[in-house]
Structure 1
Amino acid sequence: MAHTHDVTVGGDVVRKRYVSWDDGEPEREWAALQHLALEAPDLAPSPLDRAVEDGRPVVVMSLVAGEPLGGRLSVAQEQGLAEAMRRLFAVAVPDGLAERANGPAVMRDKVHEWLAEDYDLTACQDAGLVLIAKDRAVDWLATVNLPDIVDPVIAIGDGNLDNVLWDGEVCRLIDWEEYGASDLAHEIADVVEHASSRLTRSLDVEALIAEFGLDGSQRARLEQHRALLACFWLMKMLPGNGGFVRNPAGSTEDQARHVLALLDQASWLSK
């Protein structure tokens, strides 16, 4: 993932200076912090100031206590994560709020385009398995009908648990540069399918999903969005893409097996 910012901490203040902002990242983050300060106090950093340094936009915010979630989450940590997500999803979506970066309206077409490209899979441990998963994903993405937004929610826009800080009692959320409107199922899927936690089996996925009390239609949409995001991570872990070198050997094959299992589930639910 592209590096978008530098962070400096002084006392209880964080200065986030953007090195790229093509998708309006500073505006997204500032809008998120302002809205959440009113609607969900203490869920995210407090907005303090905006500035420009050396021609680069800066967002100044309060320092949030805690450490990023990592490793296998405890029951308390997973419940804290679920509570932070529920608080976020309970916040009213502002009128006219743009969709989050890479939201459900565009994600399917983007992933289909990326996965349909030719890749040299010879560096994979099991190129045959990866090719089967890639081809099935491309075929599924070409035909699946994913509604854009059914249950509108506020989205942080990044399911990486590095963005969730745990202080021993509660979780808070940081890094809002992809903030926007999204769909409930898509955002839950973004968390449970993020490679940084899925590859390490950090989450009790079914227990976390149960925390949201989804009905049957929401659960069916969740399975489709999980398959979509799993396909995205398969693409990221193909040779030539950053995830192939960042993750341990065998991760691409692990993701390929996961994609095939989710596509089987998504196809069964759509019948």
Structure 2
Amino acid sequence: MVDRFSTHDIELGDDLVIKRFRSWGRGEPQREWAALKLLAEHAPGLAATPVRAALDACPPTVVMTRLPGRVLRGEHAMDEQVRAMAAALDQLHHAIPAQAVAALEPAAWRPAAAVDKVRAWADKQPDLGDDSLVRQAFRAGVAWLASSAPDRLTTNPLPPVLGLADGNHANYLWDDQERRVRLVDWEDSGRSDRAFELGEVAEHISRVDGILDVERLLACIDLSQPEAERVRDFRRLSAMGWFLMLGPDGPATPHNPPGTLELQAERVLHLLS
């Protein structure tokens, strides 16, 4: 089975899930298996339990337990769900011992790569149409990208965490019975920057599919002032990245409803204000 948010093939059984990878050039099967094993040991219940893996098969395969619940993407997340999502992120970022996190490979998507990629997209001056608000957002975003703020994001002054490295809200399952959130899809996971992870969740383009109060989400997470400032700038970076991919011929355009570019322009200007 493949749903509209998936990048892999999933076979759902009554109790087990078989995940077959379509690509594995970034070590996706190994990343998923390593994360699931760590979580089963240190944060049982937060993610699926690993059962077996054929990491060298073609395609590589991971078998895990099936989690109850439904994805939060596309939903109007209620306050209880937002608080449960914050609790899941807090558990993820604090449950894994520092020594185990240090031994992980860096996440596939990480701050330095994000800064370089968003700046490269901006330098190409992608076709974003003629809307005046969109043009204003582009100018404001380019000015911010040219500042020193993005460069400060590439060095993490705080301890790293295990991160999903994917802010897609489809990775968060709400369990009506246990009233909690669980996390899925660990193929890009690895050692990451907590502020980067939170910025990605807050600004992933999946937010346009439903309603998630990210300000409330972040308010439920204990952040120091320096970390809160880093989250703010990572939100700016992520929002600008999505904005640059939403032009008429942009890679994110076919997957999002009409008007998403204009909404994202408003988002960029709001975050930069």
C-alpha spacing 1:48/1:214, structure 2 compared with 1 (3 Å): same
The aligned counterpart of 2:215 is 206
The alpha carbon displacement at 1:237 in A equals 1.4
Inter-partner Cα distance in structure 2 for 1:207 and 1:3? 27
Say whether residues 1:10 and 2:13 are aligned partners.
Answer: yes
TM-score, scaled relative to structure 2: 0.88
Give the aligned residue type for 1:97: L
Inter-partner Cα distance in structure 1 for 2:191 and 2:239? 21
Bigger Cα displacement from structure 2, 230-239 vs 30-39 = 230-239
The aligned counterpart of 2:84 is 80
Inter-partner Cα distance in structure 1 for 2:139 and 2:146? 11
Inter-partner Cα distance in structure 2 for 1:251 and 1:146? 29
TM-score, scaled relative to structure 1: 0.89
The alpha carbon displacement at 1:118 in A equals 3.4
Say whether residues 1:68 and 2:71 are aligned partners.
Answer: yes
The aligned counterpart of 2:23 is 20
The 3-state SS of whatever aligns with 2:46 is coil
Say whether residues 1:184 and 2:194 are aligned partners.
Answer: yes
Say whether residues 1:99 and 2:106 are aligned partners.
Answer: yes
The alpha carbon displacement at 1:109 in A equals 0.8
1:150 and 1:183 in contact (8 A); partners too: no
The one of 143, 160, 165 aligned to 1:157: 165
The aligned counterpart of 1:219 is 228
The 3-state SS of whatever aligns with 1:253 is helix
The aligned counterpart of 2:175 is 167
2:30 and 2:55 in contact (8 A); partners too: no
Deviation per residue, 1:16-48 (Å, 9 max, x gap): 111111111111101100111111001101111
Say whether residues 1:146 and 2:152 are aligned partners.
Answer: yes
The alpha carbon displacement at 1:54 in A equals 7.0
2:18 and 2:64 in contact (8 A); partners too: yes
Contiguous gaps of at least 5 residues in structure 2: none
Deviation per residue, 1:194-241 (Å, 9 max, x gap): 1111x2561222221111121221111111111011011112212212
Inter-partner Cα distance in structure 2 for 1:109 and 1:19? 26
Equivalent residues, number: 260
The aligned counterpart of 1:49 is 52
Contiguous gaps of at least 5 residues in structure 1: 265-271
1:105 and 1:149 in contact (8 A); partners too: no
C-alpha spacing 1:251/1:10, structure 2 compared with 1 (3 Å): same
Inter-partner Cα distance in structure 1 for 2:186 and 2:85? 16
Q: CA RMSD in A?
A: 2.0
